[in-house]
Structure 1
Amino acid sequence: MTHSFDYDSSSYNKAVIDVEDYGAKGDGSDDSEAFEKAWRVACSSSKPVTFMVANDKKYKLKPLTFQGPCKSNIKLMIEGSIEASSDRSDWDGKNQRHWLLFNEINDLEVGGGGTIDGNGNIWWQNSCKIKTSLPCRDAPTAMTFSKCKSLKVNDLSIRNSQQIHVSFERCNNVHASQLSISSPESSPNTDGIHVTGTQNINITNCVIQTGDDCISIVGGSQGVKAMSITCGPGHGISIGSLGSDNSEDYVSDVMVDTATLTGTTNGVRIKTWQGGSGYARHIIFQNINMKNVENPIIIDQNYCDSKKACNQQKSAVEVSNILYKNIKGTSASEIAIGFECSKSVPCHDIVLQDINLVKEGGGIAKSSCKNVEWTKKAQALPEPCDANY
């Protein structure tokens, strides 16, 4: 925040900080400066504050950082709409990865039933995944929560993000609930909820429709629980991208419980790069309903997001202690269970219990297995295949 403001010190004692009291118009003009000023007052308050974004108006914002630490607890009530600037040059010379960044704030609560609109169409049109002749560049995440502790984010509509919709980065003790997240199926890299380097996070009662993963859980995350999730369209619920750049990485203690996935590219997926090290372990997927999902259950230790083929490497992230329980529904592809594991670091302690997946429209689905040690408990359809060591 670079602006300098004069304000009445008595504002510090107000229990409610309304952005309109600091110059926000909500009329289509840029309200960034007013939000900055209001945040500085709220963050400096010696007692708990409600930061109010009133309803029935749409406030336009350039990239903005809500910086902590703050002196007291803040409740950010977004009852109206916040919309991103449509001018990509507003990010020139700044971090392209963020639109609204909440950094190093403890005991923050964000809610109010309002809308966060990333206005992402102009970014999608200029993505290298849409126009392959263009160089690939970062696009902003709509809402990033970085290094926040004891965080609550609930009852919001987040839509049309430039790239990822909501990202939790190096946070601790997070509750995210009742989020409605949506962007067109064709929008590139628009993950719904992204979790990285975060400990102890609960994600509940969310409806997510995007052009990429509904939920992506990546390196350094531990103690993640996602429950009562409705997903689709999108790329499903994904754990991984571990070991990229031959790095050491980990994810552990994850539970996805009670989810419905409809028409997604993948169902529940674990993906790791060759050449990395570390682990993905103690992961449970249970009580999941698949409807016309292309790859319902998948582990891929040979993930390669590159135009060129990735070279075979000996090292790999270890995938172990994975439970799939009570997963039912239909597969859009013939292969409903696909385990593509590393020859040098095979997947092991993979348990399939009460699985019933058939082909969409009728017929028997199949399994594909490579370098995996699995155990079947109770029913498992399709029948798990040989490991093919």
Structure 2
Amino acid sequence: MRRSTVNVLGLLTVYVLIPRAIPSPTSPSASGTCTLSSSGSDDAPALLKAAADSACSTVTIPTSTTLSIQSKLNMTGTLNKHINLQGTIKFNPDIDYWTDNAFTFDFQDQAAFWLLGGKNIVLDGGGTIDGSGQAWYDAFAKDSSTLRPILLTLFQATNVTVQNIRMIDGPEWINFVNEGQHITFRNITISAVSTSKNAAKNTDGWDIFRSDDVVIEDSNINNGDDCVSFKPSSLGQYEGEYDIVQNVLATNIHMSNAQNGARIKAWAGKGVGSGLVKNITFSGFVETNVDNPIIIDQCYETSADDCAKYPSNTYIQDVWFNNISGTSSGKEKAVVASLSCSPDGRCSDINVNDINVTPPSKYGTPQFSCQNVQISGDAASLFGTCKTTG
């Protein structure tokens, strides 16, 4: 994947046991604040103990402190907690340990360093979560079966705000929201960039799974894969699974040097799942040097023949591409927008308005392609008459 840089200026919403003595955090102050310091070894037990202590309403990691996390963090069931991260939480790049001990998910064979769940949690403070990703980027280049942990997983969490935090060098996905409700990310800076010849791969900024009311705003992302991805069963990837992604607003997005801009993809072919994508709006995108600035691909990873024979069972409805401008990279030559659906009316109510995207000058006039879809809106004429199959 190519590196993508995105500035999310607006709103995005979707309706152990440790065989050692556990060091204690500083005793709670009168205000209920517990302040942690570096132990010189594994600081995970102290962080876990403070998070579980109801007397510690605020857990503070001071600016000058780096907590070394050498064992997994299970902070599910956390209640009414403020984690004031002013310093750094840094995960030790012990690949052998994490391969055997990270939390695992059947969904897309994922693993995680840190599960944060419960109710009424704030994680802020201006500090850094560091995944020590370079060791993982290099290991994955040698062995693509290496299971790389997610940096931060909000697991079955309700009423959580993560804000004013820097997240760097996650081994794979940066944020995973799994079965959460009322989640807000605000003023998050993400950077996952390799310093060797081995690229940082699959470093999605956010992946959202079976969650409701997730807001991501005023954030900056520089990574090597998706910026924000909605992944209920990965839109028809898994046979026997039915999922819904609906009520999505992505607005005021600045994006550069990316593979895909405003995109919806769904699997087709024999033996895939099914679902519904509905009420999706992409608005106010400014894109620079993007391979596919506007794209619907309802035959993802499926040949044209197989897609015609086995159309996608993920229906796409009520989609709006509004006020999208900028430049393509020229990878698709003059094509700057492609809306390609499965046969038999699997896409409906697709709207395009105020589209002004151009390819590099050597490719001439911008071209717009479509297949098996009826398009409405003031820019519909750009697509002409769509081809049909089946």
What letter matches 2:350 in structure 1? I
Change (3 A) 1:59 1:5: closer
Residue in 1 that maps onto 2:77: 69
1:56 aligns with 2:64: yes
Instruction: Describe the SS at the equivalent of 1:245.
Output: coil
1:319 aligns with 2:316: yes
Q: Is the 8 A contact 2:267 2:312 kept in 1?
A: no
Change (3 A) 1:13 1:40: farther
Residue in 1 that maps onto 2:370: 369
**In structure 2, C-alpha distance between the alignment counterparts of 1:79 and 1:316, rounded to whole Å:** 47
**In structure 2, C-alpha distance between the alignment counterparts of 1:299 and 1:83, rounded to whole Å:** 38
1:355 aligns with 2:362: no
Q: Structure 1 residue 19: deviation in Å?
A: 1.8
Instruction: Describe the SS at the equivalent of 2:46.
Output: helix
Change (3 A) 1:355 1:259: same
Instruction: Describe the SS at the equivalent of 1:2.
Output: coil
Q: Which runs of 5+ in 1 are unaligned?
A: 221-240
1:126 aligns with 2:139: yes
Residue in 2 that maps onto 1:15: 32
RMSD across aligned positions (CA): 2.6
Task: Specify which structure has the bigger relative contact order, considering alpha-carbon pairs within 8 angstroms and separated by 6 or more residues.
Answer: 2
Deviation string for 1:300-319 (max 9, x for gaps)? 1111299xx99962442001
Q: Which runs of 5+ in 2 are unaligned?
A: 1-15, 105-110
**In structure 2, C-alpha distance between the alignment counterparts of 1:107 and 1:154, rounded to whole Å:** 14
Residue in 2 that maps onto 1:273: 267
**In structure 2, C-alpha distance between the alignment counterparts of 1:243 and 1:258, rounded to whole Å:** 28
Change (3 A) 1:79 1:163: same
Residue in 2 that maps onto 1:138: 147
Q: Is the 8 A contact 1:63 1:100 kept in 2?
A: no
Change (3 A) 1:188 1:49: same
Q: Percent identity?
A: 26
What letter matches 2:209 in structure 1? T
Instruction: Describe the SS at the equivalent of 1:93.
Output: helix
Q: Structure 1 residue 254: deviation in Å?
A: 0.2
Residue in 1 that maps onto 2:112: 98
Instruction: Describe the SS at the equivalent of 2:165.
Output: strand
Instruction: Describe the SS at the equivalent of 1:162.
Output: coil
**In structure 2, C-alpha distance between the alignment counterparts of 1:294 and 1:285, rounded to whole Å:** 17
Instruction: Describe the SS at the equivalent of 1:296.
Output: strand
Q: Which of 91, 99, 102 pairs up with 1:84?
A: 91
1:261 aligns with 2:260: no
Q: Structure 1 residue 214: deviation in Å?
A: 1.0
Instruction: Describe the SS at the equivalent of 1:349.
Output: strand
Instruction: Describe the SS at the equivalent of 2:113.
Output: strand
Deviation string for 1:241-293 (max 9, x for gaps)? 30112232220000001111111111011011113211111000011111111
**In structure 2, C-alpha distance between the alignment counterparts of 1:102 and 1:305, rounded to whole Å:** 37
Residue in 2 that maps onto 1:233: none
Instruction: Describe the SS at the equivalent of 1:164.
Output: coil
Change (3 A) 1:359 1:212: same
What pairs with 1:336-347 in structure 2 (closer than 5 Å)? 336-347=336-347
How many residue pairs end up in the alignment? 350
